[in-house]
């Protein structure tokens, strides 16, 4: 693996693959598939062929206060707080296959986490209606560690000089430990598809990185709640500077918006279309563990312009490294000159 690519692994596996689940959106359960800022920096780069591992710890702390309401697990609540910590384990295989000149990569992601949700007021839903339920107006809290929905993805990536770009598609499969009526679920319990495009300009000589990524998220129906989350649009941009070959710093801006409203019998708050803008920064560092390049990246963003959703601070702590890359091809041995007898 070249020296430039060794110093770009931080966040590469995550950025090359998927958006993830976020407890701060206006979609059902306060859960949307996309997380602000997760696709950048280096969003347009697909690593060289090989097998890669990524572990991303995601944290979010937010609140929807006052008289504002939201709906989680079929429950309508108000004055709510969420503190979410989860880990997303990713295996990425960049194959030797080329399609249209682009490198094909496939990935599998497994989320695990514990959303801690506390609501000052319970207004309606399963926690009220079930036997021995809570009375209307009561405070409720829930924090349960559980697995989320597995995610599969495919990506095509191209390279030309300092320019890198890719197209990605992925599917979240509702096979997690979803409990109807529970406030604390990592699983969305619905099929989710996401299509996106990303591009990166990377100048190794100047140590400058510029990236942009945008996409659409399409949601199926949650059969447990009869809730259909609307279609969502998301865009991320970043600018980074490599201070050394091992350390980089940068800024990130992100925007999310529902372009169609929520629907279905379970959407008790109506269309409830959400919007958010988030800004923040990132720092990445690369070192070697033995002969394996290991890179960590920290990203922190603050949500600043919010409608119909929680508002708070989110972040990622990402660790990426290659499990296997093919050895470089040996140069052919020179043939001895042919002499005439």
Residue 70 domain boundaries: 3-324
Is the pLDDT assigned to residue 225 strictly greater than 70? yes
Residue 20 lies in a domain: yes
Backbone φ and ψ of 212, nearest 5°? -145, 140
The DSSP letter of residue 310 is: -
Residue pair 213/40 in contact by the 8 Å Cβ criterion: yes
Residue 17 lies in a domain: yes
Residue 114 pLDDT grade (very low, low, confident, very high; cuts 50, 70, 90)? very high
Is the pLDDT assigned to residue 276 strictly greater than 70? yes
DSSP annotation string for 198-223: EEEEEETTTTEEEEEEEEEEEE-EET
pLDDT at position 257 is 94
> CA gyration radius for the chain?
22
Closest CA to 224 of 186, 192, 190: 190
Residue pair 38/315 in contact by the 8 Å Cβ criterion: no
Whole-model pTM? 0.89
Is the pLDDT assigned to residue 190 strictly greater than 80? yes
pLDDT tens-place string over residues 278-321: 999 999 999 998 889 999 999 999 999 898 888 999 999 999 99
Give residues with Cβ within 8 angstroms of 34, minimum separation 6: 19, 20, 22, 25, 194, 215, 217, 232, 234, 256
Is the pLDDT assigned to residue 11 strictly greater than 70? no
pLDDT at position 125 is 86
Task: Report the CATH number that the domain containing residue 49 is assigned in CATH.
Answer: 2.40.160.40
Residue 154 lies in a domain: yes
Structure tokens belonging to residue 320: 């990426």
For residue 75, how many C-alpha atoms fall within 13 Å in the half-sphere facing its CB?
Answer: 34
Residue pair 304/279 in contact by the 8 Å Cβ criterion: yes
Residue 24 lies in a domain: yes
Compute the average pLDDT of residues 69-82. 88
pLDDT at position 309 is 86
Strand partners for 90: 54, 109
| Whole-Å CA distances, 75 to 107, 155, 173, 306 | 34, 37, 23, 22
Give me the percent of the chain exceeding a pLDDT of 90: 67
Residue 210 lies in a domain: yes
pLDDT at position 203 is 96
Domain count, the chain: 1
Cα angle 192-194-195, degrees, rounded to a multiple of 5:
155
Residue 92 lies in a domain: yes
Residue 337 lies in a domain: no
Residue 96 lies in a domain: yes
Distance, in Å, from the CA atom of 256 to the CA atom of 314, rounded to the nearest integer, reads 14
pLDDT tens-place string over residues 125-178: 888 876 557 888 889 999 999 999 999 999 999 999 999 999 999 999 999 999
Compute the average pLDDT of residues 220-240. 96
Cα angle 97-101-106, degrees, rounded to a multiple of 5:
40
Residue pair 132/114 in contact by the 8 Å Cβ criterion: no
Backbone φ and ψ of 20, nearest 5°? -130, 180
Backbone φ and ψ of 255, nearest 5°? -140, 135
Average pLDDT of the residues of the chain: 88
Residue pair 260/266 in contact by the 8 Å Cβ criterion: no
């Amino acid at each position: 693996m070249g020296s430039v690519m060794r110093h770009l692994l931080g966040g590469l596996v995550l950025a090359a693959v998927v958006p993830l689940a976020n407890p701060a959106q206006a979609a059902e359960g306060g859960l949307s598939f996309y997380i602000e800022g997760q696709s950048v920096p280096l969003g347009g780069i697909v690593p060289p062929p090989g097998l890669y591992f990524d572990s991303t710890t995601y944290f979010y702390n937010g609140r929807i206060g006052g008289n504002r309401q939201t709906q989680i697990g079929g429950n309508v609540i108000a004055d709510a707080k969420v503190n979410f910590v989860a880990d997303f384990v990713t295996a990425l295989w960049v194959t030797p296959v080329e399609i249209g000149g682009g490198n094909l990569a496939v990935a599998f992601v497994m989320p695990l986490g514990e959303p801690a949700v506390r609501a000052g007021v319970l207004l309606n839903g399963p926690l009220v209606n079930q036997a021995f339920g809570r009375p209307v107006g009561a405070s409720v809290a829930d924090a349960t560690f559980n697995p989320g929905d597995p995610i599969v993805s495919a990506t095509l990536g191209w390279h030309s000089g300092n320019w890198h770009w890719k197209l990605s598609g992925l599917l979240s499969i509702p096979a997690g430990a979803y409990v109807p009526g529970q406030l604390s679920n990592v699983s969305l319990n619905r099929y989710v598809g996401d299509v996106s495009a990303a591009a990166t300009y990377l100048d190794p000589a100047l140590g400058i990185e510029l990236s942009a990524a945008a996409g659409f998220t399409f949601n199926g129906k949650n059969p447990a709640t009869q809730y259909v989350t609307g279609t969502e649009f998301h865009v991320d941009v970043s600018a980074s500077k490599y201070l050394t070959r091992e350390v980089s710093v940068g800024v990130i801006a992100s925007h999310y918006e529902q372009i169609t409203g929520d629907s279905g019998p379970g959407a008790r708050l109506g269309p409830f279309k959400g919007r958010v803008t988030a800004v923040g920064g990132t720092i990445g560092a690369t070192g070697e563990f033995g002969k394996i390049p290991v890179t960590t990246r920290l990203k922190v963003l603050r949500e600043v312009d919010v409608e119909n959703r929680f508002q708070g601070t989110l972040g990622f702590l990402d660790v990426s490294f290659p499990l296997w890359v093919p050895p470089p091809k040996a140069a052919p041995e020179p043939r001895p000159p042919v002499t005439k007898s």
